[in-house]
Structure 1
């Protein structure tokens, strides 16, 4: 027990924590993107609103959510600590030794990229998470014909909504839910917010390309057998597919919906 604190507070310990929290956050991004793809379904938000309810009420997922919030905070704090200690350790020598010329732009600007992402997260949580959890979204009722699978919907008032509920009457499934889908549609009619989301996803791409590779390097996966796979995942999955997937959502609602 007495040896744990020096290890965690050392440079290696801080990098280890950064790596583990970073990989956890990368894993969450994959799951979150898959879930949010429900936004592209032409069903008035039926699939997405059911997904939103599951994500906020299913006990195991709620536990993972708390781990997610903790990981974001820890990752940000340790990133700040590492940045400040690195600058203090080499305020002049870095420039004199040509460090900038020998390092990539995103590796030198992880702090700036991380700050953009933090601002994005605060904006994202305010627009969606906060409003959903504080009854600031509209309410909707879906009627699904179980024989044909056809779904119809109508907006309902707050007085008609008491809680998420699903009932079946005459082979018709009736679902009452908070309409987070409509809140997403409303938010992404703001061109300024759409532009900011796209910029944030560009920052996320550069952040993940370097961060994902760096995390595995810190964990000791530097063998030539693993490096090509890790580099390929960092560039194509976390640098291209995931950021583009998230960026397409605001663009879809603004230009298509």
Structure 2
């Protein structure tokens, strides 16, 4: 059995990897904001490159493992803290804990549900379905994205999930810094600013993608 410290370190490392992956995923998906014809071909070419690159495949397996381990570790910690009456992460610095720090388990569950829906709509169909091909012979993931983001209820779920992700990231990055022993009083303000800025920019950026497509796609 893993010790409490080991569980926190596992949560920290998998969480930081997932946060870094979000940045890479975000940068790749910025192509969706290009003019529609350019976005169509460029996004499909990008997706085709990722699907056929052996290094990306290895990273994808690490990603799947990180999601599973992060979720399981979060579940174990949440259940344990519920039994002991503790918060998700105890704060011994005399500050009142934020509502999102007390509800990381709920936020994490909402994000996990969203991931299942998201993977089913895009990853599963792209890998195991029969999507059409674009004019270059690549699987037309762009058309699939347009079709899904034309559904108002999915856009709403997506945006609300990004709100949950934002708060999850804010607290997660803050906790990871403490777990790694980087919580130095001299730099804590800057760590906090960077963590919040990253969380807000990534979450708003992702949320704008379905909104943009919903209102602009023909």
TM-score by length of 1: 0.78
RMSD: 1.7
The residue aligned with 1:114 is 108
Larger RCO (alpha carbons 8 Å, 6+ apart):
2
Structure 2 gaps of 5+ residues are 89-94
Partner Cα separation in structure 1 for residue 112 and residue 213 of structure 2: 23
Count the aligned residue pairs: 209
Q: CA shift at 1:136, angstroms?
A: 2.8
Cα deviation digits, residues 126-151 of structure 1 (max 9, x gap): 1100111123322111xxxxxxxxxx
Greater Rg over alpha carbons, structure: 1
The residue aligned with 1:86 is 81
Partner Cα separation in structure 1 for residue 119 and residue 110 of structure 2: 14
Q: CA shift at 1:44, angstroms?
A: 4.8
Q: Is structure 2 residue 213 aligned with structure 1 residue 256?
A: no
Of Structure 1 and Structure 2, the greater helix share is in 2
Structure 1 gaps of 5+ residues are 95-100, 142-174
Partner Cα separation in structure 2 for residue 109 and residue 195 of structure 1: 21
Q: Is structure 2 residue 97 aligned with structure 1 residue 103?
A: yes
The residue aligned with 2:128 is 134
Q: Is structure 2 residue 86 aligned with structure 1 residue 125?
A: no
Q: Is structure 2 residue 179 aligned with structure 1 residue 218?
A: yes
Residue of 23, 43, 60 corresponding to 1:48: 43
Partner Cα separation in structure 1 for residue 196 and residue 44 of structure 2: 32
Q: CA shift at 1:224, angstroms?
A: 2.1
Measured at CA, do residues 205 and 44 of structure 1 come closer, stay the same or move farther in structure 2, by a change above 3 Å?
closer
Partner Cα separation in structure 2 for residue 75 and residue 230 of structure 1: 22
TM-score by length of 2: 0.92
The residue aligned with 1:71 is 66
Residue of 161, 180, 188 corresponding to 2:141: 180
- SS of equivalent to 2:137: strand
Cα deviation digits, residues 25-80 of structure 1 (max 9, x gap): 00000000000011111115111111111111101111000000000000000001
Contact (CA 8 Å) 2:32, 2:39: kept in 1 or not? no
Measured at CA, do residues 75 and 253 of structure 1 come closer, stay the same or move farther in structure 2, by a change above 3 Å?
same
- SS of equivalent to 1:254: helix
The residue aligned with 1:157 is none
Runs of 4+ more than 6 Å apart: none
